[in-house]
Structure 1
Amino acid sequence: MTTKAPCSPGDSLQVFKGTLLHSTDTSPLETLDHRILGVNGMGKIVFIETVDKENELSQKWHFKKEDIRVLRPREEFFIPGLIDTHIHASQYPNMGSCLDLPLLDWLIKYTFPVEAKFKDLKFAEDTYTKVVKRTLRNGTTTACYFATIHTDSSLKLCDIVDKLGQRAFVGKVCMDLNELFPEYKEILCESLSETARFVAELAYRKYPLVNPIVTPRFVPSCSSKLLQQLGSFAKRNNLHIQSHVSESCKEVEVVKGMFPNYKDYSDVYDKHSLLTDKTIMAHGVHLSDDELERFHRKGVAISHCPNSNTSLCSGLFDARNALNHKVNIGLGTDVSGGYSPSVLNAVRGAIDVTKILSLKFSDYEKLTYQEAFRLATLGGSKALGLDKLTGNFEVGKDFDAILVNTNVPFGPFEVFPDDTQQDIFQKFLFLGDDRNMVEVYVAGKKVVPFQES
């Protein structure tokens, strides 16, 4: 492993010594015991070495022994920050409730009414502050947010994300059709002009960790002209794109009725220039093999949202099949279709879904816990095109990390003397929660615990 990355003279340096667990392209779980790691004032990892190199490193990087933060063996370890590739910040008020209906009925009765409230900036500020804090406490260092059709409240979400130090993509939702709930939609020209205003204003504010993402809600709520214009806008401005695809069977039928001359749901997005290597599509439960092949060719990623898919009875996403098609996959909480804001819940759900599929197909290859962990970290960074910047512990990447403490008061699990490091990590993965995530770092800055002003 290389040990040199840019570091200006006089940069403040954070040095940690202990155990790191992360994923790489070749290993879904790599345990780095007895390591010493340095983070410069820019938040970049500048060295990762075995602890026997401490003296050599201290001379090179000018730190003292007392400057080193030493993690308690077996009790504390670092993992990369968790990446939520699909979450509706505006649906947070409904989280944990309103899950008694299938997708389209659920949108009509619960979701569109709550999203309409975000015209009120005070309501938006209060709600968005809560959701960003909640996700940070749960270790989400990077989030890909859907906001609403309201530009100013969507910009308010960007303000809050920046203030609290999270890394994020934020999308102002675009939708000029809504037969399901006619009072919640935009007119075509407004949707396009407000999207342009949102992107321009966000660029003007120059938030270092917050980026815009073009966000057509999904095909049933967008005209062909809106889809085409958004595809062109994203291409001209080199922007990321997010939407939903093939979440439920009924939704797929609606799209087929709207675009009868198209091959399939994905073809609608493709013909409107919305399938690119900067696109992430949520769900994909009912994608065909042909569609998965198209996603691979185009470089389109999928956000797997197991909690939502089961909570709304949309179906079981076959993650193994998508991985076999070499499609990049990240995990999403899909609040509030998913009732948990924790990416750890998505890890557990992803594993459970493949176990359920293995009951149907005897030769089915289930996801291992190591693979699911990779989806939640490095996989998410690849899905969002951020893997050069974050997702694991490598020299030159930003230090996005969670300090896990397995011995917190009234914690969710116990560690026993015979438990190995792998046992301890599994217990955290399956039983741990925000109580164990005692510190969260984004680009080297400690963002949890919160610094109340």
Structure 2
Amino acid sequence: MATPPKNKLFFGSFVHSKTLAELEYLHSTAIAVDATGKIVAVEPGHATAAAAAEALLPKLGWAAGDVDTVATKSDSHFFFPGFIDTHLHASQYPNVGIFGNSTLLDWLNTYTFPLEASLADPAKARKVYTRVIRKTLAHGTTTAAYYATVDVSSTNLLADLCLAAGQRALVGRVCMDQLSPAYYRDESPAAALASTLASIAHIESIDPSASLVRPVLTPRFAPSCSAPLLKGLGALAADRPDLPIQTHISENKNEIALVKELFPPSSTGAPDDSYSSVYDAFGLLTERTILAHGVHLSEVEAELIAKRGAKVSHCPCSNSAITSGAARVRWLIEKGVTCGLGTDMSGGYSPSVLEAARHAALVSRHVAMGGDDKAKLTVEEVLYLATRGGADVVGLGGRVGAFEVGMEWDAQLVGLGTVDAEGGAVEEEDGNVDVFGWETWEERIAKWVYNGDDRNTRKVWVKGRLVHERKG
């Protein structure tokens, strides 16, 4: 559901990342958002929404009757930037929680490829994609970097549905011409490139200004792509410097060994046989590249990724579920690598970026238990990864991810449960987070990170448009 664009005034408490280490708390604040969805004013210090409107609207030249006002209804409610999911497979959503006891490569053949191939059926694809978009929006995800399938029509449908629902999205047709079932692969490198161009053309036709939906070059991962296909995609990336790129890297050790076997330096011209060097040799390691996982990157690889400006999508739920390993996020950040969070459904079991944030914190503690105490990520840091960091990863830095003048209003209204004097919940629908009233705001946010879920996400806006509202 999407409402028509209109000038809006939001009033109450706002929480967002100021830096990686610091959240900013803006109380008794008004934020004005124009009809295009852009933040035009941020003004603290107002006692009520009415007082804020009286002071602010004349400055903006807005008539009160032309403005929708949204105010928090209690001190346990606050506005927070929309989450940015930097890596997920829309086509795999029906398989969330179904990863068995297999390794990554076995899991792909057993669960993933058959499901993705079946979405060539438009009715089935519509059912799956509509649900995953609704589900992610309900969890506060305003931007998603989606992998679709090999099928052009299925990929185009996903883009159509994202645009109709009002979700900001990168949508990629998956490229793969080897090491996958014969029933589910590109016939040749040339066919893969032609299909990719067809999907790009469609997505650009439905949203020419890329205001919400953009195409993204999507080689599934190096082992599933032949050298000619990777070379062709690299050439396309060079010809189209506006196109982002998404793929996987160093998810588990067997996959890394396979890359070394398939792409020796003698075949790529790379200086070594590392995973990163393979992508670099084919022109796919750029400042527009989103690399999912990066669990087992070497020092040299991290330095190369940082040098090229490529980004990493940390997917802690998936890495734990499939037993891939624990990514060293603090180490990557210190190396100069920009990081965000991904749910990686269906390797990951949840559509919630908030769940990914709490698991990022927990996984970092497991890394710390291995001897690197500074590896631990704070609540403030994982929320940065979920918002500003994610925006940088998907090429939207400075546009979304925080509440600043000039940025677009991608936001969620979060409601936490208030406990009354008798120990009961004032609002039963506010979920698993109990606020007793004596907690500091820092403590409330920590409770939300570790206990919150979609029941706390009351409303969601993308570019100023209401795209989700929780009933009840």
TM-score bucket of the superposed structures, by smaller chain: over 0.9
Structure 1 CA distance for aligned equivalents of residues 453 and 26 of structure 2: 22
Deviates more, 1:400-409 or 1:346-355: 400-409
SS in 1 for 2:428: coil
Q: Which residue in the other structure is 1:116 paired with? A: 117
Aligned match of 1:218 in 218, 221, 224? 221
- Say whether 1:41 aligns with 2:30: no
Q: Confirm or deny that 1:241 pairs with 2:242.
A: no
Measure the CA separation in 2 of the matches of 1:146 and 1:366.
30
Equivalence map 1:266-345=2 (5 Å): 266-345=276-355
Quick one: which amino acid aligns to residue 260 of structure 1?
Answer: P
Match of 1:436 among 456, 459, 462: 456
Q: CA deviation at 1:362?
A: 5.1
CA displacement 1:65-91 (0-9 Å, x = unmatched) = 995433134221000000000000001
Corresponding residue of 2:399: 389
Q: Which position in structure 1 is the counterpart of 2:385?
A: 375
Secondary structure, counterpart of 1:36 in structure 2: strand
TM-score (norm 2): 0.90
Distance 1:125 1:420, change over 3 A: same
**How far does the alpha carbon of each residue in 1:170-199 deviate from its partner, in whole angstroms, 9 at most, with x for none?**
000000112x53332112221010001111
Query: Which deviations, in whole Å up to 9, do the C-alpha atoms of 1:308-327 show, x marking residues without a partner?
Result: 11111111100010010111
Q: TM-score, normalised by structure 1?
A: 0.94
Distance, in Å, in 2 between the alignment partners of 1:140 and 1:110 is 25
1:412 Cα deviation after fit: 1.0
Partner of 1:6 in structure 2?
Answer: none
Alpha-carbon distance, 1:13 to partner = 1.8
Q: Does 184-193 or 169-178 show the bigger shift?
A: 184-193
Contact 1:357-1:364 at 8 Å conserved across structures: no
| Letter aligned with residue 376 of structure 1 | A
Structure 1 residues 327 and 44: alpha-carbon distance in aligned structure 2, compared to 1, 3 A threshold: same
- 1:5 is aligned to none
How far residue 167 of structure 1 moved from its aligned partner, in angstroms, is: 0.1
Contact kept in structure 1, 2:290 and 2:394, CA below 8 Å: yes
Aligned residue for 1:119, secondary structure, equals coil
**What amino acid maps onto 1:392 in structure 2?**
A
Structure 2 counterpart of 1:213, one-letter code: V
For 2:22 and 2:235, locate their aligned partners in 1 and report how far apart those are by CA, in whole Å. 37
- Where does residue 185 of structure 1 map in the other structure? 185
Q: Is the 8 A contact 1:20 1:77 kept in 2?
A: yes
Which piece of structure 1 moves more, 107-116 or 166-175?
107-116
Identity %: 42
Deviations 1:92-144 (A, max 9, x none): 11111133211011011111111110111111111100110010001100000
CA offsets, 1:420-443, max 9 Å, x none? 222211111111111110100000
Q: Distance in 2 between matches of 1:247 and 1:341?
A: 20
Structure 1 residues 121 and 378: alpha-carbon distance in aligned structure 2, compared to 1, 3 A threshold: same
Q: Which sections of structure 1, spanning at least 5 residues, go unmatched?
A: 1-10
Q: Does the 8 Å CA contact 1:99/1:337 hold for their aligned counterparts?
A: no
In 2: Cα distance, 1:63 partner to 1:372 partner: 40
Contact 2:276 2:301 in 1 (8 A): yes
Aligned to 1:136: 137
1:81: which partner in 2? Answer: 82
Question: 1:67/1:92 Cα in 2 relative to 1: closer, same or farther (>3 Å)?
Answer: closer
1:59–1:147 distance in 2 versus 1, CA, 3 Å: same
Query: Could you say which residue in structure 2 is the equivalent of 1:202?
Result: 203
- Of 409, 427, 445, the residue aligned with 2:428 is 409
RMSD in angstroms over aligned alpha carbons? 1.7
Structure 2 unmatched ranges of 5 or more: 418-426
Query: Matches of 2:68 and 2:353 in 1, distance apart?
Result: 32
After superposition, residues 40-119 of structure 1 pair within 5 angstroms as 40-52=34-46, 54=52, 55-61=54-60, 62-64=62-64, 68-119=69-120
| 1:358-373 mapped onto 2 (5 Å cutoff) | 358-361=368-371, 363-373=373-383
Distance 1:16 1:26 in 2: 25
Shift, 1:26, TM fit: 6.2
Deviations 1:256-280 (A, max 9, x none): 0011224111000000000111100
CA distance in 1, matches of 2:304, 2:232: 22
- Deviation string, structure 1 residues 36-90 (Cα, Å, up to 9, x no partner): 1101000011100113483432321235499543313422100000000000000
Looking at structure 1, the residues matched to 390 and 100 of structure 2 have their Cα atoms a distance apart, in angstroms, of 26
SS at match of 1:135: helix
- Name the counterpart of 1:3: none
SS at match of 1:23: strand
Distance in 2 separating the partners of 1:287 and 1:386: 25
Q: Retained in 2: the 8 A contact 1:17–1:51?
A: no
